[in-house]
Structure 1
Amino acid sequence: MKNTQGMICMDKLPQRKNIRLKNYDYSQAGYYFITICTKGRQNLFGEIVEADDPVCPKQVMKANKIGKIVCACWNKINDIYDNVRTDSFCLMPNHIHGIVVISEGGQSRPPLPKIIQGYKSVSTRMCFKYNIKTIWQRNYHDRIIRNQQEYLKIYEYMENNPLKWAEDKYYIK
């Protein structure tokens, strides 16, 4: 908005909502469930197809070249930080789910937002050769996994996500 002198009033600009927990140290050891969507929820990573298994027919995610890059970059997180590892991962046509584990020790514990920012940046740059300049939405969703029961529930959700694609809140045909 502009004031009477025609200057922009910074305090009147709309503020982005901070979706991280207030006063929580995202560099502390723990398990974090992450969801990152593509910009505009575009189906950039592949498609859900019927599996080639006559004994147990089910739907599976078939990654395209962009999806394969996104997966490879996720796995590279393990090589970058001493005390950070990736756990379960689920690639979907227009989003990913993953679990990031930050452990005690190491030189320093990077905060989760820095880890995700680096992941998004590297995976986007790797896709420049395919004329894709923007992959990700601006933010991401996280959930601190508080116990084994919650971990198992999230793991099962990720495992079954391709089976329920048409019911998924991120589903866009």
Structure 2
Amino acid sequence: MTRMARNAPLRQEPNSISSFVAGFKSAVTKRINLLRDNRDIPIWQRNYYESIIRDEQSLIAIREYIRNNPCQWQKDPDNPVNDQSWKTLDLDLYF
């Protein structure tokens, strides 16, 4: 794979959920970077997961995941409690 192919932006289907999420994240990122005058600190966790709910079993499993996911935050490596490097950051966000 060429370097250009690796760095090419992913194409998103217009009016799709991923297109909506990308637009939302882009607008919020621009606003936050303006407010804090710093573009070097990441704002979002990478990726998100899409699932197609095909049957009742899938629906039950996804509901269970959503219900239990906040409990997993304690173990998440992106939780600032688990990663103390965030203490050196000054976000300067004033809302």
TM-score, normalised to structure 2, is 0.50
TM-score, normalised to structure 1, is 0.32
Q: Which has the higher strand share?
A: 1
Bigger-Rg structure (1/2): 1
Q: Which has the higher helix share?
A: 2
